[in-house]
Structure 1
């Protein structure tokens, strides 16, 4: 659909929106004749640069409508969940030098009881996130460096000295392929051993962040858990994501207990609708658990910042009892205008359980922390009405809202597309079958536990696992003597979450066609 609007004395600039992965495929022109109702804002409504185009289309998409190029605010369908709290703004104002500046301003307005609600919306100018989350592929392209597949943190020893530690590595990544393990300490980067923590914006912290997450090649000196050292050069590259960091089956007090650590909700279906490697891996994992006859399940989401809701739905179906089949899994809440037009948009009001996985579980335990966000929180919240769900660790991040993905592009007179950015602005909120949601400050654990980074995955001395094993055997989490013994161990390194900005996406995305 193409509409041409000319205003005398103003050059025609073709600005189009490609709506991908939501509702329907469409290409919308956003040229303006100067008479649009721009939600009450905007005087100069003709884009002059690609950045103007991006600001304009982002604003109209969020605040006016996705369906008709933003030409009719009254009859339109704004996509932003909190569009009603954002006042009229002029996207072409010199106040906003970039689209990110405009978006940041818009995000300041949604609040509840004085608390800012939108900590989440963002623009991705590389398009790499969609490839990673939906297709499960980290790809090195001309516009991106790829990734080492390495997550790091600072941790404290008994004397409160900081140590730069490896949280985890993806098995398929350059770091994983070179054998880098959770709990290794990084003692030097590119030969520089000045890597101690010096504050969120300190020179050392910035240096480390750039070297780990933004560099094409970095040489690391590691101190391994056996106190030997290794110097490895990692080259950022492309790889297929393996979201399962570790899995095993324990025998605890005569009961079979399944355990897996899961670091991202990469989608189970790709952009073509086919099964991804993530689905194949999860199928194999739950097949193993079912064959082992597990009666308890531990899902370690302590570093899982979210991803695709399709994978959350998969996990809920795989874990839930047969009695949940066909019942409500969770409800969606949209803004008022989308809610009034659900039939036209094709958006669901709710999602129900499908065929469940056949496990007969007494409990499911989730290991959580303040990086446990969004799709992770959705998964555990969905299961609470139907089975015994226990959380061990620390309070989750707090993100009961999610995104649809929109690709914003411009088109020249010949119809050639120029990609500008993918927009992730909050579009919906979720609540479980009992209408429980709204956990903007996080979900508290049933039992707190420390995260000692240099205890290997699956080791029974991990404080989270130790407490869960105690509960399985006795019905009681508490092990005071064990906690005291671990706290007095000078070799342990206590994780300081978010001491370094994570390289992982934080959120949940519904890649609904």
Structure 2
């Protein structure tokens, strides 16, 4: 990896000066006289170079990426179209190289046209390594109530998304305070419209659910590629490290960069720390759909090793990966950067989590209504009904998945961003 450092310095400085004139090509050469990348060119050419070179070190599946010379982005994407079209085409091609052996298809097989399932590129700079890219609403709690079903108190909570913890904590605390008073042993969490958001908020919800006895137990781990873990992703020194307030940080007598972050598994293992007073939950039932993704799937996965967990509805989106923003010229690039694993090391839901009970629901469900198809199926299961005998016929002629018709086409809405990356000690 050291052979790329000289190139990066030249490349990034040229991008910052926004060079747009084409010059006679020169090349950066390593000790073995291997051509790495031109050191002159147009602004667009340097952006093409940067997308590939960042992926070469940061991308979760960088092991399958060829050399720069073999990939040759400048030639490969010459004349493709507008800049943004060209850059997104390059990112798409990079994302299709790693094949999932279980399916025989790429991990980032697109859900529509040529758009990677996970990675994406947006116009406009973001704060590298922070809370960039979240467009989910500021309201986390859509509905909450305690339902008495067959003499069993059931805590019901519908979550729209996982906004920042500052926008979520009060509403979540109030909901769980009400639950604690009823001492339910069963909880139904409605995630049918929850496309994800901030990991710290999903983690806070998990901490509200679990009993004190789970304190210190592993909730989940973020697993980066080997280059990131062993500190050889040197290109990240061109990305500033900012604190939670967007301020630069002094590290070893200089401004910290994203290359100074601890990307080891140990440094990115998150454990339970009980919040609130609810101590009685033993089983958790999730209402899910194809819109259930990212941080909401992490919540499900994290609870599986410790609770009886059941899924009702339709298969989830399938997104066990997360990101941090990388600024390249005037763009923000979100490369799939880490894998989410639960305490058992499980992360195998790239194609989605299958429901235990498949249910069709109404287009506009009344959240918290025991007669609504998905919640009714959950309550029947809680009360001992066998899966085959559950009555989940929709109450209207307009039927969809247990789903509130949210589009997954805008991946910015379901980015699982980690905003708590920590510097090496």
Bin for the TM-score computed over the shorter chain: 0.7 to 0.9
1:473 corresponds to: 383
Match of 1:246 among 119, 138, 143: 143
CA distance in 1, matches of 2:320, 2:407: 24
1:84 aligns with 2:41: no
User: Judging changes above 3 Å, is the alpha-carbon distance between structure 1 residues 458 and 129 closer, same or farther for their aligned structure 2 residues?
Assistant: farther
User: Judging changes above 3 Å, is the alpha-carbon distance between structure 1 residues 503 and 115 closer, same or farther for their aligned structure 2 residues?
Assistant: closer
Mean Cα deviation higher: 470-479 or 247-256: 470-479
CA distance in 2, matches of 1:466, 1:339: 46
The CA deviation at 1:400 is 1.2
User: Judging changes above 3 Å, is the alpha-carbon distance between structure 1 residues 510 and 464 closer, same or farther for their aligned structure 2 residues?
Assistant: same
Aligned length: 358
User: What secondary structure sits across from 1:371 in the alignment?
Assistant: coil
Structure 1 residues 209-252: Cα deviation after superposition (integer angstroms, max 9, x where no partner): xxxxxxxxxxxxxxxxxxxxxxxxxxxxxxxx212222222122
1:423 corresponds to: 333
Match of 2:219 among 329, 339, 345: 329
2:417 corresponds to: 509
1:117 aligns with 2:107: yes
1:255 aligns with 2:152: yes
Task: Judging by fraction of residues, say which structure has more helix.
Answer: 2
2:365 corresponds to: 455
2:273 corresponds to: 354
Structure 1 residues 438-460: Cα deviation after superposition (integer angstroms, max 9, x where no partner): 21121112211112113322222
Match of 1:318 among 201, 205, 208: 208
CA distance in 1, matches of 2:334, 2:12: 28
1:440 corresponds to: 350
CA distance in 1, matches of 2:127, 2:194: 15
The CA deviation at 1:46 is 2.4
CA distance in 2, matches of 1:323, 1:13: 53
Match of 1:389 among 298, 301, 309: 309
The CA deviation at 1:408 is 2.8
CA contact (8 A) 1:320 1:357 kept: no
Match of 1:364 among 259, 263, 284: 284
CA distance in 1, matches of 2:324, 2:167: 22
The CA deviation at 1:381 is 0.7
* RMSD (Å) for aligned C-alpha atoms: 3.7
User: What secondary structure sits across from 1:52 in the alignment?
Assistant: helix
Match of 1:304 among 194, 197, 208: 194
1:44 corresponds to: 38
Which ranges of structure 1 fall in alignment gaps of 5 or more residues? 18-31, 64-77, 139-169, 171-240, 269-275, 410-419
Which ranges of structure 2 fall in alignment gaps of 5 or more residues? 18-24, 81-85, 109-116, 233-258
Structure 1 residues 16-38: Cα deviation after superposition (integer angstroms, max 9, x where no partner): 59xxxxxxxxxxxxxx973156x
Compute the TM-score of the two structures, normalised by the length of structure 1.
0.62
1:150 corresponds to: none
User: Judging changes above 3 Å, is the alpha-carbon distance between structure 1 residues 490 and 364 closer, same or farther for their aligned structure 2 residues?
Assistant: closer
The CA deviation at 1:465 is 0.8
User: What secondary structure sits across from 1:509 in the alignment?
Assistant: coil
Match of 1:340 among 230, 237, 247: 230
CA contact (8 A) 1:405 1:510 kept: no
User: Judging changes above 3 Å, is the alpha-carbon distance between structure 1 residues 133 and 36 closer, same or farther for their aligned structure 2 residues?
Assistant: same
1:413 corresponds to: none
CA contact (8 A) 2:360 2:399 kept: no
Match of 2:96 among 108, 117, 126: 108
User: Judging changes above 3 Å, is the alpha-carbon distance between structure 1 residues 16 and 111 closer, same or farther for their aligned structure 2 residues?
Assistant: farther
CA distance in 2, matches of 1:387, 1:115: 32
1:57 corresponds to: 50
The CA deviation at 1:12 is 11
Structure with the larger RCO, 1 or 2 (CA within 8 Å, 6+ apart): 2
What pairs with 1:5-404 in structure 2 (closer than 5 Å)?
14-16=14-16, 34-35=27-28, 43-49=37-43, 51-63=44-56, 78-88=57-67, 89-93=71-75, 95=77, 97=80, 98-113=86-101, 114-118=104-108, 119-126=117-124, 241-268=138-165, 276-341=166-231, 345-347=261-263, 348-359=267-278, 360-404=280-324
The CA deviation at 1:462 is 1.5
